[in-house]
Amino acid sequence: MTTVQFRRTRIPHETAESFWATAGPALEHIFDSPDIPVDIETYSSVYSKCFNYQSSKAQRSSPPSQGFRNGLQIAVPASTVPMHRVDPEDKHGMAGYRKVDDFFAERAKKIFDNVPDNSSSELVRYIITEFARFSAAVQTSSRMLVYMQRMFITQLIQEGCGWSTAGMPVVTVHNRSFLAEIREQKAERWGYKKDSDSNLGTWDEVESWAEAGSPLDCIVPIPSLAFRRFRIIFLEPLLSSDRLSVAVDELLTGELAEDRELILSLRNIFRKSGIDPENLVRVKLELQAQ
């Protein structure tokens, strides 16, 4: 009888630096040249290096779970989660996550640095145009970095580092039913209440707004990571200087049909970027857009 032996294929080792050496230029291209798609070779290279980087630590200790070997997102059983406070900074993959976050911060800063000094109407149109470009680039980037989401971000969120659980006592983090209640309670502030007919969006939409509105120490999915930076580096400074507040006030007094469209667009940007629901400018936009 012949015995078949299977040899485990060793995944190439990637560091944060080697991963970013390929991913960084690709992301630059996505943001700088939106009309020119990333070629398939570059896309595949980043996709593979992202997987290899996220797998490098696991392969030195123990093989990845069957779900991750098959490229699936799986839940971590509560019994397998360590009963201690998880520090994201100690996790393999954090350096790569920080590089992506820093990249989004740089892109938001570039948008802020080019804010027009002209009329309020031009400022509003600039925000809407730049957010549309930024958002489209973020979606492409997120797909390319899907393994960072599946193998790193999802795990840390499940371990209590996400928007609704960060900073909670460790015992609380491991009480799954209680966490679900907390999550629902916090989501109400952002516009979603279970079994309500007046929600501002779907659960996924509202949770993404809450993620974008979270502090920087919360681990969030890649799109929310980008929109959080858009809020902190671009929108909030404009609000603090009153430039955006004045622009919105002028917009709200307009009577043109175009003004209505601008109000709706700006309201959606405020939502997606995680502007606080109680922020006065957002409240005005929400009321006017009804």
Q: Which domain holds residue 99?
A: 16-65+89-241
Contact 170, 85 (CB under 8 A): yes
Report the Cα 153 to chain-centroid distance in Å: 10
Q: How many domains does the chain have?
A: 1
Q: Is residue 106 part of a domain?
A: yes
pLDDT tens digit sequence for 94-124: 999 999 999 999 999 999 999 998 889 899 9
pLDDT exceeds 50 at position 30: yes
3-state helix, strand, coil in the chain (%, to 5): 65, 0, 35
**Burial of residue 3, with CB atoms counted within 10 A of its CB: 0-12 exposed, 13-18 middle, 19 or more buried:** exposed
How do residues 186-236 score in pLDDT, each as one tens digit?
999 999 998 888 899 999 999 999 999 999 999 999 999 999 999 999 999
Least confident window among 6-15, 33-42, 67-76? 67-76
Percent of the chain with pLDDT over 70: 83
Contact call for residues 147 and 50 (beta carbons, < 8 A) = yes
What does the pLDDT average to over 10-36? 93
Assign 68 a pLDDT band (cuts: 50, 70, 90). very low
Task: Classify residue 224 as left (phi > 0), alpha (psi -120 to 50) or beta.
Answer: alpha
What digits encode the pLDDT tens for the residues 42-60? 999 999 999 999 998 654 4
34: in domain: yes
Look at residue 100 and tell me if it is in a domain.
yes
Q: What is the pLDDT of residue 60?
A: 45
Between 140 and 158, where is the model more confident? 140
Contact 196, 187 (CB under 8 A): no
pLDDT computed for residue 88 by the predictor: 75
